[in-house]
Structures are given as structure tokens and as C-alpha cells.
Amino acid sequence: MDTVLKEIPLDAIILDKENPRLRFSQIEKGLKKWHEQEIEEAIRESLQFNKLLDSIRQYGVKDPIWLHHIGDSKYEVVEGNMRVLALRLLSKSKTAPPSGITYGKVQAHIIPEKTDKVAIEIQKAILQTGKNPWGAFNEAAHIFGLHAKHKMGISEIANMLGKSMSYIRNEIDNFQFYLEFIEFQRKRKQPVDPRKYSFFKDAPPMVRVKFFKTTESRKKYFGLILPNTQGITRIPSVALKGGLRTFAKFIEDDRTLTKFLSNERITVDDAFFEYTEKNVLSKQPWVKKLPTVINGMRKLTNSERKKLLDNPQIHAELSRLAKELTKFLS
């Protein structure tokens, strides 16, 4: 992207209202649009901000920020919201800067006024390389925006961001499901929590098969990850014991799943315990691999079979297997 490097006064700079780092906070606060003061408050809540403020107080801004010239001698931040706010606060505090440092201006790469908006959004993502990550939620929101708002195709986004098409497709689907979930929460008058996005991004494959295919199945899923009428969240976490990953281990069994869904008193752990007690295969997962092993052995050519048997370690393991099978079948 063609830019020029210039020194810009702070009072000519407008903070980026669509900065991906703010998406989490915007949804959490239920804001449709940001105002400058709200953006400043959200940035100051960041754990990294105070550390950055101290660094700029002593050394100034080391790396130029990125700005988009929007006309009338005004510039909107493309990358560098935190640095601009740090300089604003230091200027207002009338803190004397070290020798050779100024708080009232900042070096910036200037993107020309008529640059396409989509190109700027792509540039935001490119500029994150080597910096603090946006986080899973903010990245997904940005990708979804490129597709839904800016009408970019999946292959185009993948090429621009250096990601696979399957990754981009999954991020778009996950965020779409999360937006449905937000509406579900609001109808129930429950607070929106962007941290719940992990229930979509990190959902195991079997959960996706059972619950992500239709609107009705997704509503059932939403109800399981939110507090019910008794204030109990049926699936309280993603990775912890008794959470989503435990849930995924028994939902392939329709009888166990139906019982769990119809009785709010049954916990995930209770359902999983009952499933393992009744299902011998769940206790012996190696049994599920037998068809694959058998098919693999059947497809071997004579030459491949000879090479395997000529390997002392493989030969010994196959001999042990033969002995165990004889005992098992007797």
C-alpha cells in the first residue's frame, strides 16, 4: 500500500471506531456506535495500556502509527489507537517530555484519502503481524465483517490474510452462530458475554453435527450454555470437567442425549457416567479402531506385507497380537 511518512498533530487525529480490538468491548457494552469518550474508556481498560503509557512517557512513540487521510486536514487511525490516546493523556497532564521527545505530534504512515475502505480493513489485519493479537473473538468479528459488510468472498479473504479457506469459512460460520446467540440472550433479557464465543469456535465436531445444522437445534444448544429457569447452566464451560468436551463424548448416543435434554436435573457428568456404564465401547475406545486395522491389512500387497514382517519390531508386535487374539477368542 502506497503511503507517505509525516508528522501529524494530535488534534487532527480521530480514533478508529471500528478497530477490531474494540469489538469484544462494543458487544459486551451493547453499543451500536462508539463515541470518542467511550473509545477512550474502552482502551484504558486494556491490560497493556498502562505499560504502553509508561513507555511513551519515557521514550515517546518509537514506531510510526498508521492513519487514513479523511479530508479537511483530519486523519483517522488505522493502527495505533492506544499510542494516540497515551499521547493525548500525556499532553493533557502537561508532563514534561524527555529531551528530544514530543507528546503533541506523532509520526505516521498516511494512507491517501480516496483509498478503498476494504483495502484499509485488510491493512489492519496485515499490520497485526508481530504485535499483540486481537484475540479469537475480535479476529472472527473482523473476518465476518469483511464477508458480510464488505462483500468479500471466502477465497479472497483467505488470500489476503494468508489463511486457509476452511479456516475463514469456519470463522464466518462461528460468528454468525454467535450473533444468533446474542439475539437469543437479549430475548431472554440476559447479559451478553463475548467470552461465550468459545462455545462456538472450540465446539467439538460431534457438537457441530448435532446442534449447529438447524435454527431449532442451535436454540437447544443456546439454552444449554445459558442459565436455565433455575439459574443452572447445564454446560458451564468448554474445556473443564463436566463441560462441553465431556458433553461431546456421550451425545452420539441418542438415548443418553434425549434423557439429558429432557431432564434439567441431570448434569453433564451424570449423563457421561451413565453412558460409560452402559456402553462397553466407550470404555474400550480401541475397539473402534479394529475395522480400520483390518481394512488396512487386507489392502496390503505381498511386497508391503513382506516389508512389514521383515521389520523385527513390527513382526514381534504382530506375533503378540496373534497370541492375544487366540486367547481372546478361545
Per-residue pLDDT of 100-143, as tens digits, reads 888 999 999 999 998 988 888 888 888 876 677 778 888 898 89
Per-residue pLDDT of 221-246, as tens digits, reads 999 999 988 889 999 999 899 999 99
Given a contact cutoff of 8 angstroms between Cβ atoms, the answer to whether 268 and 234 are in contact is yes
The position carrying cell 439429558 is 260
Given a contact cutoff of 8 angstroms between Cβ atoms, the answer to whether 128 and 160 are in contact is no
Per-residue pLDDT of 17-72, as tens digits, reads 888 778 777 777 777 777 888 888 888 888 789 899 999 999 999 899 999 999 88
Q: Where does the pLDDT of residue 249 fall: very low under 50, low under 70, confident under 90, or very high at 90 and above?
A: very high
Orientation of helix 215-224 relative to helix 165-187, angle to 10°: 70
> Would you tell me how many other CB atoms lie within 10 Å of the CB of residue 263?
10
Given a contact cutoff of 8 angstroms between Cβ atoms, the answer to whether 233 and 207 are in contact is no
pLDDT at position 161 is 84
- Give all domains of the chain, ordered by start, each with its CATH number: 4-115 (3.90.1530.10), 202-283 (no CATH), 285-329 (no CATH)
Dmax over CA atoms of the chain, in Å, equals 89
What are 323's three cell numbers? 497370541
Orientation of helix 268-278 relative to helix 254-262, angle to 10°: 150
